[in-house]
Amino acid sequence: MSSKSLSNDLPQHAFVSATDFEAFLDREHTTAPGIYLKLAKKSSGIPSITAAEAVEVALCFGWIDGRANGIDDDWWMVRYTPRRAKSIWSQKNVGTISRLIDKGRMRPAGLAVVEAAKADGRWERAYAGPATVVVPEDLSCVLAAEPVALAYFESLNKSDRYSVLMKVEHGSVNTRAKRINALVQTLAMGKQGGTVSTSKTTGRTKPKTGAGITKGASKPTTKTSKRPSGPETSTPKNGNEPPARPRREGLRQRD
């Protein structure tokens, strides 16, 4: 694998062990805007903190990981930053936090973001992963009243269905009902939140422009010609020249 160009908006760090990463965050978790953490691939043989260890350390200090990206044959790169104020929680991280609390590993900064999430309801609304996600009751009720939307939703593959459910979970509680109704309407049109599905399990494809035109009919074309430089004239179908338009009285004769 060739090396990929990387963003340089944050510094890069590599740690041999979880203890090293913990020591770094102990010093800088309140001042650093984030880092790119380099994780050595198992096949490289390079001593390195593991992805699971890094997530646990980050959660202790109120930080969160991003998506891992392979940069070459030996390394992964993961963006780690302090958790934002309204950041949503996954049920997986909620469970991890519970274990870290039992072990006495949580730091004040990490406990503070947990308490904030509990206070505004984000902790209770933590979303499930693809393996355990279920259709929420409020969405299920609206789908049941729209058979076409329900049939389309049930035809989606696992990945597309999870994507639809995440559109419901992500957002404020106050707008949840509105988002569900809008989403069900798009499902009834064979779309997922505004995008037509290309799922192989459904056989649906994005309709071509002009969908709804009878098969075999061609789009009408309008030909345009260069505008004539002189006065516009027309010749009747019978081939006779049109009568000359009478000149207005009082106009001066042109030379």
Q: Which residues are registered as beta bridge partners of 38?
A: 14, 77
pLDDT digits over 178-232, tens only? 999 999 999 999 887 644 344 444 444 443 434 443 444 444 444 444 444 443 4
Q: How far apart are CA 187 and CA 146, in angstroms?
A: 9
From the list 134, 133, 153, the residue with the least C-alpha distance to 143 is 153
For the segment 1-10, the average pLDDT, to the nearest whole number, is 68
Question: Is 190:149 a contact under the CB 8 Å cutoff?
Answer: no
Burial class (CB in 10 A: 0-12, 13-18, 19+), 74: middle
Structure tokens that stand for 4 in this block: 């990929």
- In sequence order, the 6+-apart residues with CB closer than 8 A to the CB of 120 are 86
Predicted confidence band at 8 (pLDDT cuts at 50, 70, 90)? confident
Number of Cβ within a 10 Å radius of residue 69: 13
Question: Is 36:79 a contact under the CB 8 Å cutoff?
Answer: yes
Q: Global pTM?
A: 0.64
pLDDT digits over 101-141, tens only? 999 999 999 999 999 999 999 999 899 888 888 899 999 99
pLDDT of the residue at 133: 87
User: How many residues would you count in the chain?
Assistant: 255
- In sequence order, the 6+-apart residues with CB closer than 8 A to the CB of 157 are 199, 200, 201, 202
Structure tokens that stand for 91 in this block: 């049920």
- DSSP E strand stretches across 58-152: 63-70, 75-82
